[in-house]
Chains A and B, each alone.
Chain A
Amino acid sequence: MITELLSINVVIGVLASGIRLATPYLYAGIGETFGQRSGVLNLGLEGQMLLGAYAAFYVVLTTGNLWFGLVAAIIAGAIMGLAMAFVSVTLKAEQGISGIGFYLFGLGMSDLLFQKTLGTVETVSGFKPVYIPFLSDLPFIGEVLFNQNLLVYGAYLLVPIAIFVLKRTTFGLNVRAVGENPEAADSLGVSVAKIRYTTVILGGVLSGIAGASLSIALLNVFQQNLTSGLGFIAVALVYFGGWRPFGVMIGALIFSGVIAFQLWLQVLGSPIPSDIAVMLPYILTILVLVIAGQRVRPPSALTKPFERGD
C-alpha cells in the first residue's frame, strides 16, 4: 500500500489531476473575487455554473462545436449575472438570500432542461489535452503541467490577468474603491452601480465558463446537480484567498490536490469508507474558512447596497 502510494506514476497522476481539477474553482473563484471586491456577494455562483455547464454541454452535443458550447456557457452566465446584478444593485436586495434564490433557480432550471432535452446521461468529446512542443515532452513536469486541455491553461492564465486588472488598471482601482468606500468613489464621479454591474456580470461569465470546464472539458457529461457544491466551495476559496486572485489560486490548488489524492486512495482501495472520504473537502472548506477568518478582513462594503446620501 505505502509503496503503491509513493510510486512515481501515482505522484504524477495526483499532481496532474490536482492541477486539472482546480480549473472550475479558478474561473468561478476569480469571478467571485471581482464581485466581492466591488462589494457584492454572489452566492448564486453554483446556479450560474450549472446553467453554464448545461448550455455548453447541450450546444456541444447538438452542434459538435466546442467553441459554440463555450460561447453558450458565457451567454448563460452573463444573463444570470445580469439578473443577480439587477436584484442586488438596483433593487438592493439582501445578497445572501437572493443568491440562494438564484442557486435554487439554476439548480431547478438546469435539471428541468436536462430532463426535457436530454433525459439520460450522455457524453460528449470535450476539449482534448494540448500538446505543446518541447514543454509537453519534459519528463515529470511535462506530464504534470503541460498535458492539459485549453480550458485548464486558460484558468491559470486568468490569474495574472486578474491580478493585473485589479492592481494596475483604472477599472481595477474603481472596483476596489467601490468595495471599500463607495461614498468616496461616488463623490469622485465613479458610478458605483456601473462598476458593480460589470463585476457581477463578469462573475457570471466566468462561472459559466467554470461550468463549461466541467461539462465539456473535465467530465464531459451533464447530469442533475453536476457541480454538487463546487460553486459554494469556490466562494469559500475567495475568503481563504483573502480576496486576491493569487490567494484564490493557492486555495484552489490545495483543495483540488486533496480531492485528487482522495480519489486515488479510493482507486487503490483504502480502508476509509468512501462516504467518509467524500466528506473531506467539505470539512477542509470549513477549516479553510476558520483560517481565513483569523487572517484577513473582507472588503468594507461587502454585502452592503449603496445608497447615495442626500
Chain B
Amino acid sequence: MTSTKTKKPPRYDRLFVILMPLLATLAALAVGAILLFLLGTNPLEAYSAMIQGAFGSKNALADTIVKAVPLLLVGVGICISFRGGVLNIGGEGQLIVGALSATYVGLAIPDASFGVLVPLALLAGFLGGAVWGGIPGVLKAYFNVNEILSTIMMNAIAVQGMNYLLRGPMIDPVQLEAASRIPQTARLSRLYDLPRLIPTRLHLGAAIAVVAAILVYIFLWRTTIGYRIRAVGLNAFAARYAGINVRHYMVLALLLSGAMAGLAGAVQVFGVHHRMFTDGSAMGFTGSAGFNGIVAALFGQLHPLGTIPASFFFGALIVGANAMQRAMQIPSALITTLNGLLVVFVVSSEFFRQRLEKKRLMEIEEIDEADKRMEAEVAA
C-alpha cells in the first residue's frame, strides 16, 4: 500500500539555516551603522577600516585567528552545555580559573621540558575550568539552583579570586620590589611558549582549538555519553523515562563546558600572554571571550564544527573593531553593544526559522493527504 509519491520526511532547508545568522549579522551591522552615524562617524569608512584591520594583511589575518582561538574553545564548550539543556554563562570565570591553574603549574615547575609541562599545564587549565563549571552543575542538578544565575555569580567570584591571587600570593617577585606593584605573575619560562606556526603571532593554540572542536563533535554525535547529553537537553522527561540519569548528565554537560573554557584560559596564557595579569575586571584578561564564545556558538547553530567559522568571524569582528577604534576614535564598547544585538537577533531569528519549518510541514502534510486520497480513489 505504499505510494510511490510519498515524500521523504521533511528536512528544513539547510541553506536557510546558514543564511539566518548572516541575516541577523546584517541586521546588527545595520543598527551599528546607525549608531556610528549618530556618533558622528561615517559608517562606511568605519566598516572599511574594520575589514582592513581584520583581513588586510598577513599579520591582521593571523591576529584574527589568534582572537578566534579562545572563542572557539569556549564556544565548543557552550555547544556541550546548551545541547545538554543547561545554559552556561560562566565562561569568563571558567576561563580565568583555567588560566590561573595553568599558570600555577607553569610557575611551580620552571625547568621541565616543553613536552612534559605544557600538556600538564593545559590539563590543569582543563581541570580548573571543569571544577568551576562543575559546581554550578551540581547546584543545578541536586539543589535546583538556576545555572544562569549561579554561573554569573561564579564569574564574579573568579574575578575577585584572581585579583586576590595576583596582588598577593602569585604576584611577580619583581613587582613586589617595585613601587608600582602591577598585579601580574612572573613571565613563564620561554621554553613553554606555544610555538608560532608562521612568522606572525599565530600559535599552536589554533590547531589545538580546531582539533578540540572536531573531538567535541565526535563526542556529542558519535558516542553514547554525548548522545545522552543531547537526549537530556532535548527532553529531560523522555530521557529519564529511557533510563538516563538526568542529573548526572546535567552535571557532566556543565563540567565539560567549563573544562573547555578552562582550556581556553590555559591556551591564552601559554600561547599569547605567557603570564597571568589583571586590570581588576574580568575583561582585562579574558577580553570577554567567555561571553563572546556564547555568541560564536549560537552563531554556529550550537554545532562544534559550525562554531569554527563562527569563531573566525567573531575574531575578525574583534580585531577589526580594535582597528576601527584606532583609526576613527570609536570606543570599543560599540562591539559589546553589537554583540548584544547579535545575540538578540540570532535568538529571535529562530522564530522565523520555526515558522518557515511549520509552513513546510503543513504543505507536506497536504501533499500526503492528497496522496492518500488518490490512493483511496485508485483502490476504489
**How far is B150's CA from A267's CA once the two chains are assembled, in angstroms?**
29
Q: Which of A199-207, A209-217, A272-280 lies at the interface with chain B?
A: A272-280
In Å, the complex CA distance between A104 and B45 comes to 25
Q: Which residue of B lies closest to A87 (CB)?
A: B348
Residues 283-310 of chain A: 1 if any B CB is under 8 Å from the residue's CB, otherwise 0? 1011001100110000000000000000
Q: What sequence of 0s and 1s flags, for each residue 65-109 of chain A, a beta carbon within 8 Å of any chain B beta carbon? A: 000000000000000000100010001111011101111111111
Indicate the member of A43, A109, A286 with the most B CB atoms within 10 Å.
A286
B337 touches A112 (CB 8 A): yes
Question: Using Cβ atoms and an 8 Å threshold, which residues of chain A touch B333?
Answer: 107-109, 111-112, 115, 224
Query: Which B residues touch A283, using CB under 8 A?
Result: 153, 157
> Nearest chain-B residue to A103 (Cβ)?
B340
Chain B, 133-165, CB within 8 A of any chain A CB: 139, 143-146, 148-150, 152-154, 156-157, 160-161, 163-164
Minimum distance in angstroms from B378 CB to a CB of chain A = 31
Cβ 8 A contact of A104, one of B153, B337, B347: B337
Distance of A306 Cα from B319 Cα, bound (Å):
40
What DSSP secondary structure best describes chain B's contact surface? helix
Contacts of A102 in B (CB 8 A): 340, 344
B350 — which chain A residues lie within 8 A by C-beta? 93-94
**CA distance in complex: A282, B155 (Å):** 9
A305 to chain B, nearest CB (A): 9
Chain B positions 261-308 with a Cβ under 8 Å from a chain A Cβ? 281, 291, 294, 298
Are B149 and A101 in contact (CB-based, < 8 A)?
no
Count the B residues whose beta carbon is within 8 Å of the partner chain — how many? 44
Q: Which residues of A lie under 8 Å from residue B148 when comparing CB positions?
A: 43, 96, 100
Residue among B149, B160, B163 with max Cβ neighbours from chain A (10 Å): B149
Are A282 and B334 interface neighbours, CB within 8 A? no
- Could you say which residues of chain B place their CB within 8 Å of the CB of A229? 152-153, 156
Q: Mark B64-103, 1 if CB is under 8 A from A, else 0.
A: 0000000000000000000000010100000000000000
Q: Are A286 and B139 in contact (CB-based, < 8 A)?
A: yes
A294 CA to B143 CA in the complex, in Å? Answer: 7
Q: Is A19 an interface residue (CB 8 A)?
A: no
For B294, the closest partner residue in chain A by CB is A100
In the bound assembly, the distance between CA atoms of A44 and B337 in angstroms comes to 13
Asked whether, in the complex, the Cβ of B153 is within 8 Å of the Cβ of A232, the reply is: yes
Q: Which of B322-337 contact A (CB under 8 A)?
A: 331, 333-337
Known: A98-B348, A101-B343, A105-B340. A293 touches B145 (CB 8 A): yes
Contacts of A112 in B (CB 8 A): 35, 39, 331, 333-334, 337
Across the interface, do B164 and A100 meet the contact criterion of CB distance under 8 Å?
Answer: no
Contact A108 B152, beta carbon cutoff 8 Å: no
Which of B150, B164, B343 meets A98, CB within 8 Å? B343
CB distance from A28 to the nearest CB of B (A): 14
| Residues on B with beta carbons closer than 8 Å to the beta carbon of A278 | 160
Residue of B87, B152, B298 most packed against chain A (CB within 10 A): B152
**A101 x B87 contact (CB < 8 A):** no
A93 touching B347 in the complex, CB below 8 Å, given contacts A115-B331, A276-B160: yes
A sample of 13 more A-B contacts (CB under 8 A), given A100-B343, A112-B39, is A94-B350, A97-B343, A101-B341, A106-B340, A116-B39, A116-B331, A224-B333, A236-B153, A276-B164, A279-B160, A282-B156, A282-B160, A286-B150
Chain B residues close to A by CB (< 8 Å): 35, 39, 87, 89, 139, 143-146, 148-150, 152-154, 156-157, 160-161, 163-164, 167-168, 281, 291, 294, 298, 331, 333-344, 347-348, 350-351
